[in-house]
Structure 1
Amino acid sequence: MGSDTSTQKKLFEEFDSDGSGMIDSMEIASYMAENYTGFPLEAVQLLITLADRDGNGEIDRKEFTDFYKIVLASVNSSDLGLKSVIYTATSVAENNSKISGKRMQQVQKCFGVNGQIDKTSYDKAEFLQEISRFIPY
Structure 2
Amino acid sequence: MSEAPMTPTVLFVCVHNAGRSQMAAGFLRSLAGDRVRVLSAGSEPAASLNPVAVAAMAEEGIDIAGESPALLATDDVRASDVVITMGCGDTCPIFPGKRYEDWELTDPAGLGIDEVRVIRDDIRMRVERLLVGLE
TM-score (norm 2): 0.26
Higher relative contact order, chain-length normalized (CA < 8 Å, sep 6+): 2
Between Structure 1 and Structure 2, the one with more strand by share is 2
TM-score (norm 1): 0.26
Between Structure 1 and Structure 2, the one with more helix by share is 1
